Structure 1
Amino acid sequence: MELWVSWATLMCFTHWIALTAADRTVQVDPPTDIHVSDPGHLGHVYIHWTTPASLKNIPECSVRYQLQFYDTYRGDWTGIRTSRLSYSAQFDLMKPIRVRLRTLLRGKCTNGTEIQSEEVELIQEPDLKGTAGSRITGFNCVYYKWEYMDCTWESGPDQPPHSQLYLYYWHREMGESEECPQYLYSDGVRKGCRFPRQSLLEYSDFNVCVNGSSPANALRPAFFSLQVQMHVKPAVVMSLALTEVSNTTLHLEWTMPEGLVPEHCLEYEVETRGGDEAKWYTNMTEETTFEVPSVDQSERICCRVRSRVHNLCADIGFWSDWSQPECMPDPVSDTNQPSQVTYVLDMKLIMALTIVLIVVFLLSLSLWIFRKMWMNRKDLKGVLWTLVSAKDAQINTPTSSPCVL
């Protein structure tokens, strides 16, 4: 036992001596000539560096580099290890580019251990143009039905009058950036851009820049990088059918929403509501059918469905609009209690009969008044005729002469 401990101690001491000797004989310097090149890909830039001169002629050791850069979109540091002398990454060009590098050396020259250089950092400040308030706000993109994508924005609070905005985009299958294929207007002002599906690329950085100019001065550009598959909004779910399969279960079925969203990428949210309840009860499914429990057969059950791209195809996405509710009539209805439709029809019939009765009453009243007027006219005519006849009789009757004295 004591012999084994002594042997282990000797080996550790020997290893320490070897490391110390390696540290004394090999000096690891950090990379040199660190710089960033921008090929015009709207934020997709290249970081370059060179091997330190002290490490160019060491064949017995491998030289690698540890790169860290600050992701301006995620807001944290990302690190990699590589043997190359360049690396491409995505940055918001309106924010500082921060890069940290160190050299890693390992091999016979270091007795198999890894020796690191000190860390060097590059900070490249952005070239800001235009006032901060001239930059657009509220940039938002929606990939409708996996068929076309609309990106919209609002004018900056300090955007000069008579400004003209331009949108450019780029992805890895494009050689150079291109201008918006179809601008969207509001009151004659550019407020968005529509991208047909053939101009998009899923599962890759899709870079956008919106800049502009005005008679006063340039506008501050805005840079964005997005994954288009995370902005999909499916169409409304159609053709809902609700049928009774038992006394306690209803079967809900629907068809896929129209569009180009793959079937395996969709998930559905089903909401049900019974009777006069205001609350909807939510369930999730990846199928186009759902079994709805119906405990109280006297209640009317209503269902609605919406969809989105689930996390097998995209980390996030937009819910579609809700479908029109589909309701199941009461399985057992009370014949003595009229339905709402019957009640409405009865009310309309009662109103129509009331109007008819009023019209008949008014017509009857009018006829009675005219008849009374006609009868009164005949009586008046008879009275007048009697008076006239009496007057004529009085005129034709002979009278005695007065006495003449």
Structure 2
Amino acid sequence: MYRKSGNFKILNLREMAFIHLDIRCLYAILICTAFGSTLSSNAEIKVNPPQDFEILDPGYLGYLYLQWQPSLSLENFKECTVEYELKYRNIDSENWKTIITKNLCYKDGFDLNKGVEAKIHTLLQGQCTNGSTVQSSWSEATYSISPQGNLETKIRDMDCTYYNWQYLFCSWKLGIGVHFDTDYNLFYWYEDLDHALQCVDYIKGNGKNIGCRFPYLESPDYKDFYICVNGSSKSQLIRPSYFIFQLQNIVKPSPPDYLSISVKSEEINLKWSMPIGPIPVKCFIYEIAFTEDDSTWVTTTFENEMYITRTSNKSQQLCFLVRNKVNIYCSDDGIWSEWSDKQCWKGDIRKETLLFFLIPFAFVSLFVLLITCLLLYNQKALLKMVFHTKKEVFSHQETLF
């Protein structure tokens, strides 16, 4: 029921509810229509994956190029933004590395002891897709070095140390069961080099190459440093080995020197000098081994000086030594230096010195006293004997007369 008021029609509650429901249905229909139109529009847009996708090895011992070309279908989408999503990994890795780029090439380092796999697809977005993202199917590529020689012929226990951030040394052990004529060669590369270089200063063991002393390296830190050690033999194939290092993570500094220790009442001051070399002062962390009489404890500090408190005023000997390595602010890891020489402080030296002289002096004095007593005793006995002899002589003479 409704009633009229002037030129207006007054609706009852039931009629108002029906009208509200109709409006909601209309909105839903409009939204679905618009969404369906967008889906229909995007469903009609199809983009092909990149073409000529490949992984190239330029001979940099693990630094590979991943490159591709845009699909020809992109000529129809000039108003759109075109990007590429690239995923890659070593074949035995669980995780993919992912990058999104507009370029047609990407470079990165890989462990060539294992195979490499990568995949890429096209991402299309912009006006031609009504703001949404359209993806192509994946294009895939793989790369691996054909294995040669038995696995046992590879070198063993490769160890590289960057001494004092200046001198790089690497050493290894020969493969298992290799023939007597087998020898190994080391090659290396990093981004500042035009091509891979061979070691020119080998460390020898029984006439075989078992290590390499590297020449001065120009700015090799904070970048991947690639090494390959392969071998040669007239009687068998030798399996090559590949390694990737970040040299700042294998730095072994020189140990600290010029240690000093001073004691004032209960306070102990420990101080040392930083090693000479190119390592910045802020890059050191120190480990201190401190001994008070028979108890020892270890602590770390970022400074080249520290203050500690004596546990007892009666402690007679305090000693400490220090070693260092590159800290987390300059590298992800590091190698501890050798321990420095020990520096010690001893208690009241005057008392010790006095005891040192008094004890022997007491023994000597006692010995002299005993000798003197013995001499006096013997002299007294001798005098008695002489006196008694003279007395007997006089008595005999009186008897004669």
CA gap of 1:172–1:336, structure 2 versus 1, over 3 A, is: closer
Q: 1:112-131 CA deviation, whole Å, 9 max, x = no partner? A: 11122233332333311122
Q: 2:96 aligns with which of 64, 73, 77?
A: 77
The equivalent residue for 2:279 is 261
Of 298, 304, 310, which aligns to 1:288?
A: 304
| Of 205-214 and 117-126, the range deviating more from structure 2 | 117-126
The one-character-per-residue Cα deviations of 1:262-283 (angstroms, maximum 9, x if unpaired) are 2121111112121112xx3222
* Equivalent position to 1:305, from 315, 322, 340: 322
Q: 2:331 aligns with which of 294, 307, 314?
A: 314
Residues 19, 113 of structure 1: 8 Å contact kept: no
Over residues 75-112 of structure 1, what are the superposed CA-to-partner deviations in whole Å (9 max), with x where a residue is unaligned?
63211001111111111223111102121110111101
CA contact (8 A) 2:90 2:114 kept: no
Aligned-partner Cα distance in 1 for 2:213–2:293: 44
Alpha-carbon distance change, 335 to 288 in structure 1, aligned in 2, over 3 angstroms: closer
Matched, 1:147 2:166: yes
Q: Report the number of matched residues.
A: 344
Aligned twin of 1:362: none
Report whether the alignment pairs 1:274 with 2:257. no
1:117-136 pair list within 5 angstroms: 117-136=136-155
CA deviation digits over 1:17-51, x for unaligned, max 9? 34302322211222222211111111111011222
What residue number does 1:112 align with?
131
Kindly tell me: are residues 72 and 176 of structure 1, through their superposed partners in 2, closer, same or farther at Cα, counting changes over 3 Å?
A: farther
Structure 2: distance between partners of 1:7 and 1:273 = 86
Partner of 2:188: 169
Q: How far 1:6 moved relative to its partner?
A: 7.9
* Runs of 4+ in structure 1 over 6 Å off: 2-8, 72-75
Match of 1:394 in 2: none
Match of 2:78 among 59, 71, 88: 59
Local SS of the residue matching 2:282: helix
The match for 2:244 is 225
- Residues 359-378 of structure 1 aligned to structure 2 (within 5 Å): none
Distance in 2 between residues matched to 1:165 and 1:199, nearest whole Å: 25
**Identical pairs, percent:** 30
Aligned CA distance change for structure 1 residues 346 and 177 (closer, same or farther; 3 Å): farther
Which amino acid in structure 2 is aligned with residue 220 of structure 1? R
Displacement of 1:159 in angstroms is 2.1
1:325 aligns with 2:349: no
2:7 is aligned to none
- Structure 1 segments unaligned to the other structure (5+ residues): 358-405
Does structure 2 conserve the Cα–Cα contact (< 8 Å) formed by 1:102 and 1:118?
yes
* Cα 1:54–1:248 shift into 2, 3 Å: same
What is aligned with 1:240?
259
TM-score (norm 2): 0.78
Q: What SS class does the counterpart of residue 119 from structure 2 fall into?
A: strand
Query: How many Å separate the matches in 1 of 2:94 and 2:336?
Result: 27
Q: C-alpha separation between the residues in 1 aligned to 2:292 and 2:214?
A: 43
Q: Which letter does structure 2 place at the counterpart of 1:193?
A: C
Say which is worse superposed, 87-96 or 220-229, in terms of deviation: 87-96
User: What is the aligned partner in structure 2 of residue 370 from structure 1?
Assistant: none
Unaligned runs of 5+ in 2: 1-19, 372-401
SS at match of 1:196: coil
* Local SS of the residue matching 2:328: coil
**Of 232, 249, 252, the match for 2:270:** 252
CA distance in 2, matches of 1:149, 1:155: 20
Deviation string, structure 1 residues 125-151 (Cα, Å, up to 9, x no partner): 331112211111111110011110101
Look up the equivalent residue of 1:295 and give its one-letter code.
T
Structure-1 separation of matches of 2:221 and 2:278: 13
